[in-house]
């Protein structure tokens, strides 16, 4: 007897997320069906709603951060990415991206995050199969080789693996050394995840700029030594001054992570790095417009290394889960609120133009439970 | 009126540590006098006693890990390595080595730990001035540019900075990535320091092999997930098997730190690394003899990176102090017992041939308080 | 009408290379048939003959360095690794290894040279299909994804791509900086290839130790500044002394490449590196036994980085061909003699116990032309 | 009897270079007098004339790229940076910068190119001593520790060491791998030097954008595979298109070096890099104003590493000389014309607003022979 899945389908840029019903297929060999437990609403989902990303085919089921229960395993799907045996009923974190392994970026440059043939669940796929994003009760992981990791983390924590994997990639690329002073611009999910990973990587002093207040409270609870609320300190020069004062010798931070995704954050952050320091650009997954920088003052004079970090990948997911399973941070506090399929439009509006508020409350990371009634 | 300092002077290899009295001089411009509070007894001190290090001029006052109170500041000594102003009476950690800044290794290779003109307090110096090692009530820091760091850490913690600086250097060179599985061979001060720094650098799983039991207990208290007592598991093959079993997919550790200083630890540790992993050799500060390795199996087949780490230096001391000042580990437990100048010979004997025992107790790190009566 | 290929089949360790005839199949989709033009005889082939490599299934057709003409293309085989369109009749360099792209080493460690599911033509394969090594008139590239690169280099040059790809991997890992002094131990194909790549990478001074005389002459022709014949200078201490004298300040080389494959070369080469230098172990593809090293003197005191380099891979093949196509070195001189299928046993004997001589001449790189009469 | 030196003194921003006479002092211990043979006119000299660099004290004797004859050696100056003994009469390349060896950037960050106490001949010094820049018949190297390298290169070649040292630093930081496709923006001295060093570092394909025509001719003579004249191809989009077409798979270059020093070159160059490639910013030694870049398209989407390279230093000078002494490139052709002290103003005007022309000829690198009559 056929099973039915509800999924939220976005019909066009700026359109509606209509909840529709689809039949759940039987998985082909090498593929599987996931029963979605929770899916994060990413800033990129919101930007896709507003049309800031090129090449997205509408209608589409969004949602690329998700976890759930292995529902049906196609033939040959027997182990997870940690070589652990799996069976139907296991909770897994599913990786949204599937790289081809053969193209120039996979085989030569060895950066499959730029794979030219990649498939990403919740993004542009090659057809219009609807059960291909996390904002759906079931996901059909129909590309052989789709990665997943079995875990006993609660769904509310496991759902954070994707943004944490990006933070891991960023910290790997930029390198945090034991004892470093670290600035993180932005207090959204990626910013807070970067705070955790930077602390795990030996940061002795962490400074977070962002907002709103509730997120900065959480940053402090996660160990940030200094937080600067951009809603209160509205002048960039003043923010730069405050950050420099909080660094050894007022030289600036050893490393700055740009996780705000606002163009103006780039030159502001570059001013916060010490000479011979490092800067990691990891906030601009979509085109938010250009910004002026000064090649002499912001780059050359600083003798700077800058790493622009696109997405994550298999190694970073594994690193993320290994740390999350230590349960040393209150990850569940990063997820709030949890909404049903019917409220996704409210969520993306809150992210882009609603001042990060839903129901009169400041949100941290909004997640979707596709089984929730409303 | 001249002040008098007691110092323990080793007259020859295998000789006696005689406590003698010396006049404390007034410091020349650019130099200073330190009133020693505590000095660690390093394995290298013990090896120097037994003649395992070439080029040491006897008689000598040993001790290159120490902290104390700035007693007299020569003209122009006004700030510490963090650019903090200092005055007489401040507690400081003193760096034992002074690099020339001009030789090939300082200026070209940029590894001043191999400076060809370096001066190291507690090691071979250019004359026989006695107040030049930590096993003395006062140290005359008579080489301009001698580094020191003001701190409010208790002396019992501050005295650990030198071994922790070596651990920082080792972790910087070998790189620990967030989520890594790490093996540490050796549970002495450097091994335990490496455990702390590896955990600070994101190690998700740490395995320590060593002994005796009391040290491994402390390793577990510091966060080691697995400890293997080489006194109990006496077979190297069995130790390798146990370590592999404790690593993901039984592939071996992402990185192994050799902090045991026993030649046989090298091939044993190489077998514990996964393919394409990293190995850090940081235990052989003195010549303990050769050992057989197999270039095919231990190196090539593993596609391995190996980093041999000689000592530390200014950046690593600063990194170490930045972390220690977070006070997140019970550092003081690493120091035990604290002895007076008269018991140094007992200490070096305990380290090399006494099974790490003094007064019937297993020792962790032995430290000297030169003001202690006995 | 079925076509017939002659192939040299080794029946057992130390056995015979019998020339047999096999039917050439039609290629399945994603695969192709190569008409072999030339195949190099690698030291590893010789070692496999003598049983120095575990896991080889006999009988076997050896030969993993080869080039030839695309003979029949299976469906879907349309472009080479440079994305150039190909057709039957094109000359190509074929990559012997096919990595799975999915295992831990491919997807997580991103070192597919340690792929746990790799297939390597000329090595152990999963069945006993005979046309799977280069010592054959035709090779059936029957694993989909087998890499190849179209080129107009002559076969006598193209056949060198595999050893040159290893040199590229070694230089990439160990890094040669413009102006470096470089030592290469070993003057076989990999040693000479490393000489070329090190010079391409900015080596200002190159020193080659090896033999016999004809190879060292070629090394000088390729640009080596100093050569040391190990047949003439038979004392390792003396060789080390000569090398140190040829380096700036007698400090030793910035980087040493071990391409000799003799265990004793490891400690000898380690003595030739300057402090804070680099050492690349790339000669021990098979188990030639253990060797003694001193962890204090050979590693720690030197503050050394050591890179053990296993094989090559897609990026290195592409780098190699890009340089070879500049035609700036007389590559064809590295290949001599060229023999027929019937003389492979003589070749492997010459390599291991014949003092690198065939027909009374010193050989450089022996290559097999499977169409040659004798 | 006192000797007299003529020097060209710039009195103020945009002022005159007046040739004045000064007495040559006797050198203090640790210092020396250089009899200048030749001094390059750097773009930075021209920018200092136009006031584009902050903190320059006028009047000043410019010129920080120079070589000459050791004229008088102060006590204790006996060896050069290669540990070669020197005597009066030797030709040497003098390093303009003297780092303190003790500040945070020297001792901790280990990037003495950002030394906070550095002295640079030809730039801001601590007093107004006139014989402190290369546009003078004698230079008093009055800071102990001033580096110099003995060489038998002709002065016309030796004078290029400073710009070549910057190219070496840039290539070291950005890393050129054997086989890379490299773009160099700018065909001035640093651009052409980068072309040479990139080729020495294994670049298989080099593309230079710049002008005027004579410089591009020289670029081709030095080995550039493709040159694009920005005077002819005036549209940036078209230049980007041409570069992409000249790269494998039209993916863009593996690495781009920005040596043009024009703000607009930054976004243009970023578009020329392939995804997961590298970009080296080394053209903006002075403030030429801001420029717009797009964080999403120019950085994030490209998963880029960017290295901003400030100046050079001791290791890079030594690397540069080691290569130059191979005499494999026609370095002397980079220097043209050679002028006397009286024509410096013409030179700086030619560089900034004269279209790189003097006497109706296109210049390459202008050098000053302070002994030349006119």
Report ipTM for this prediction.
0.96
Contacts of D217 (CB under 8 A, 6+ apart): none
Q: Report the chain A residue with the minimal C-alpha distance to residue C101.
A: A101
CA distance C226 to C243: 9
Cβ-contact D58, D36 below 8 angstroms: no
Query: Looking at CA atoms only, how far is residue B353 from chain C in angstroms?
Result: 20
B231 and B257 together in one domain: yes
DSSP letter for each residue of A240-309? HHHHHHTSGGG--EEEEEE-S--TTHHHHHHTTEEEEEEEEE---SS----EEE-IIIIIGGGT-EEEE-
pLDDT of residue B126: 46
> What confidence score (pLDDT) does residue B128 get?
61
Instruction: Write out pLDDT tens, residues A330-356.
Output: 999 999 999 999 999 999 999 988 888
What is the average pLDDT across C349-369? 92
- A313: in domain: no
Is the pLDDT score of D322 beyond 90? yes
The reply to whether C89 and C24 lie within a common domain is: yes
Average pLDDT (B224-242) is: 98
B285 with B336, same domain: the answer is no
Q: Which residues is B181 bridged to in the sheet?
A: B205
Mean pLDDT throughout A282-291?
A: 95
pLDDT band at C353; cut points 50, 70, 90: confident
Average pLDDT value over all residues in chain D: 95
Chain segment B5-53, per-residue pLDDT in tens: 999 999 899 999 999 999 999 999 999 999 999 999 999 999 999 988 8
Give a yes or no: residue D345 inside a domain: yes
**Claim to verify: residue C291 and residue C198 sit in the same structural domain:** yes
- At residue A374 the predicted structure's pLDDT band, cuts being 50, 70 and 90, is low
- The nearest CA of chain B is from the CA of C374 a distance in Å of 35
Indicate yes or no: CB of A109 within 8 angstroms of CB of D276. Answer: yes
Helix ranges restricted to H, B201-258: 213-221, 236-245
Average the pLDDT over D4-25 and give the result.
94
One domain, residues A262 and A210: yes
Closest approach of A364 to chain B, Cα-based (Å):
24
Peptide bond into B212 cis (omega under 30): yes
CB pair distance less than 8 Å for D81 and B108:
yes
CB pairs under 8 A between B and D: 32
- Look at residue A125 in the predicted model and tell me its pLDDT: 52
Question: Residue C248 CA to chain centroid, in angstroms?
Answer: 31
Over residues D1-11, the mean pLDDT reads: 89
Q: pLDDT-derived band of residue D126, with 50, 70 and 90 as boundaries?
A: very low
**Chain B, nearest residue to D109 by Cα:** B315
Q: Per the domain annotation, does B317 fall within a domain?
A: no
d(CA C281, CA B297): 12
Q: Mean pLDDT over all residues of chain B?
A: 95
Residue D127 has pLDDT above 60, yes or no: no
Question: Has residue A222 got a pLDDT over 80?
Answer: yes
Its domain, for residue C193, covers 163-308
Task: Give the closest-approach CA distance of A247 to chain B in angstroms.
Answer: 11
- Which CATH number is D121's domain given? 3.90.180.10
Q: What is the mean pLDDT of chain C?
A: 95
pTM: 0.95
Residue D16 has pLDDT above 90, yes or no: yes
User: What pLDDT is attached to residue D124?
Assistant: 60
| Cβ separation B322–A179 shorter than 8 A | yes
Considering only the beta carbons, identify the residue of C282, C290, C310 that sits closest to B301. Answer: C310
Instruction: Say yes or no for a CB contact (<8 Å) between B319 and A172.
Output: no
Chain D touching partners, 3 or more CB pairs below 8 A: A, B, C
Instruction: Determine the pLDDT at residue B373.
Output: 84
Short-list D262, D122, D86, CA closest to D190: D262
Sequence length of chain A is 374
B248 contacts in chain A (CB < 8 Å): 82-83
Position A315 in a domain: no
Write out the residues of chain C at the interface with chain A, using a CB-CB cutoff of 8 A.
Answer: 81, 83, 101-102, 104, 106-110, 112, 145, 147, 314-315, 318
Summarize pLDDT for B332-372 with one digit per residue, the tens: 999 999 999 999 999 999 998 888 899 999 999 999 999 99
Is there a contact between B248 and A202 if contact means CB atoms under 8 Å apart? no
Mean of all residue pLDDT scores within chain A: 95
First CA to last CA distance, chain C: 27
B107 closest CB neighbour out of D102, D104, D314 = D314
Q: How far is it, in rounded angstroms, from Cα D365 to Cα D374?
A: 18
Domain count, chain C: 2
Residues in chain A closer than 8 A to D300 (CB atoms): 281-285, 308-310
**Which residue from C297, C291, C248 is spatially nearest to C270, judged by alpha carbons?**
C297
A–C CB contacts, 8 A cutoff, strictly below? 34
Q: Which of B288, B293, B297 sits opposite C296 (nearest CB)?
A: B288
Q: List pLDDT tens digits, range C26-60.
A: 999 999 999 999 999 999 999 999 988 888 888 89
How close is the nearest chain D Cα to the Cα of B100, in Å?
A: 8
In 3D, which of B120, B281, B51 has the Cα closest to residue B186? B281
**List of chain B residues whose C-beta atoms are within 8 Å of the C-beta of residue C296:** 284-288
What three-state secondary structure class fits C72?
Answer: strand
**Does residue A149 share a domain with residue A11?**
yes
Mean pLDDT, residues A117-122: 92
Is D259 among the domain residues? Answer: yes
Residues B293 and B352 in one domain: no
Within this chain, do residues B103 and B140 fall inside the same structural domain, yes or no?
A: yes
List the single range of A31-45, A248-262, C313-327, D40-54 with lowest mean pLDDT: D40-54
- Give the pLDDT confidence score for residue C128 in this predicted structure: 61
The reply to whether A317 falls in a domain is: no
Q: Which of A108, A145, A315 sits opposite C315 (nearest CB)?
A: A108
What are the chain C neighbours of A83 within 8 Å (beta carbons)?
104
Average pLDDT value for residue range D26-55? 93
Q: Is the pLDDT of residue D374 over 70?
A: no
Which residues in chain A have their CB less than 8 angstroms from residue B172's CB?
177-178
Asked if B179 lies within 8 A of A319 by C-beta distance, the reply is: yes
Q: Are residues A97 and A19 in the same domain?
A: yes
We report the CATH number of the domain holding residue C177 as 3.40.50.720
Integer Cα distance of D161 and D320 in angstroms? 6
Identify whether residues A116 and A167 lie together within a single domain: no
CB pairs under 8 A between A and B: 76
- Tell me which residues of chain D have a C-beta less than 8 Å from any C-beta of chain A: 104-105, 109, 111, 113-114, 173, 249, 251, 258, 263, 266, 274-276, 281-297, 299-310
CB contact under 8 A, A291 and D289: no
> How far apart are alpha carbons D290 and A296 in whole angstroms?
8
pLDDT per position as a tens digit, D328-345: 999 999 999 999 999 999
- Which of D178, D179, D201 is closest, CB to CB, to C178? D201
**Among A270, A323, A274, A324, which residue's Cα sits nearest to residue A299?**
A270
Same-domain status, C7 and C145: yes
Residues C277 and C179 in one domain: yes
**A-interface mutation test, from B171, B172, B178, B203, most A Cβ less than 10 A away:** B178
Residue that terminates a domain, selected from C258, C281, C308: C308
Encode pLDDT of D155-184 as tens digits. 999 999 999 999 999 999 999 999 999 999
Q: Is residue D357 part of a domain?
A: yes
Residue bearing tokens 């008093």: D140
Substitution target in C176, C178, C204, C224 with the highest count of D β-carbons within 10 Å is C178
Give CA–CA dist A358/A340, Å, rounded. 13
Task: Read off the pLDDT of each residue in C55-66 and give the average, rounded to a whole number.
Answer: 91
pLDDT digits (tens, 9 = 90+) for D233-283: 999 999 999 999 999 999 999 999 999 999 999 999 999 999 999 999 999
The mean per-residue pLDDT over the stretch B255-281 comes to 98
Q: Is residue C317 part of a domain?
A: no
Tokens of D198: 């990139």
| Mean pLDDT of the region B318-329 | 96
Nearest residue, CB atoms, A322 vs list B171, B179, B320: B179
Among the partner residues D179, D248, D323, nearest to C179 by beta-carbon distance: D323
Of A37, A13, A7, give the one whose Cα is nearest residue A122: A7
DSSP secondary structure string, B53-122?
A: STTPPSSB----EEEEEEEEE-TT--B-TTS-B--TT-EEEEPSEE--SSSIIIIIS--GGG-TT-EETT
């Amino acid at each position: 007897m056929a099973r039915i899945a509800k999924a939220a389908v976005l019909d066009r840029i700026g359109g509606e997320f209509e909840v529709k019903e689809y039949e759940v297929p039987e998985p082909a060999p090498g593929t599987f069906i996931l029963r979605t437990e929770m899916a994060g609403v990413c800033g990129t989902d919101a930007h896709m709603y507003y049309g800031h990303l090129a090449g997205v085919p509408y209608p589409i089921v969004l949602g690329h951060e998700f976890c759930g229960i292995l529902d049906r395993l196609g033939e040959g799907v027997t182990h997870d990415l940690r070589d652990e045996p799996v069976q139907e009923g296991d909770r897994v974190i599913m990786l949204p991206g599937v790289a081809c392994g053969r193209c120039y970026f996979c085989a030569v440059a060895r950066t499959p995050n730029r794979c030219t043939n990649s498939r990403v669940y919740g993004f542009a796929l090659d057809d219009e199969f609807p059960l291909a994003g996390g904002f759906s009760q079931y996901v059909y992981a129909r590309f052989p080789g789709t990665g997943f990791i079995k875990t006993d983390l609660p769904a509310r924590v496991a759902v954070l693996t994707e943004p944490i994997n990006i933070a891991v990639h960023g910290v790997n690329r930029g390198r945090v050394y034991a004892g470093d002073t670290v600035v993180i611009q932005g207090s959204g999910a990626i910013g807070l995840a970067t705070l955790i990973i930077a602390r795990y990587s030996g940061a002795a002093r962490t400074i977070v700029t962002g907002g709103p207040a509730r997120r900065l409270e959480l940053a402090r609870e996660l160990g940030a030594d200094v937080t600067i609320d951009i809603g209160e300190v509205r002048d960039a020069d003043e923010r730069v001054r405050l950050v420099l004062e909080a660094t050894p010798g007022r030289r600036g931070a050893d490393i700055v992570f740009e996780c705000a995704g606002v163009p103006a954050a780039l030159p502001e952050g570059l001013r916060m790095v010490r000479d011979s320091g490092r800067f990691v650009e990891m906030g601009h997954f979509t085109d938010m417009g250009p910004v002026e920088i000064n090649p002499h003052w912001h780059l050359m004079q600083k003798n700077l290394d800058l790493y622009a970090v696109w997405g994550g990948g298999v190694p970073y997911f594994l690193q993320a889960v290994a740390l999350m399973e230590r349960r040393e941070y209150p990850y569940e506090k990063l997820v709030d609120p949890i909404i049903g399929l019917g409220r996704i439009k409210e969520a993306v509006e809150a992210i882009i133009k609603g001042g990060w508020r839903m129901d009169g409350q400041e949100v941290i990371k909004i997640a979707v439970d596709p089984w929730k009634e409303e």
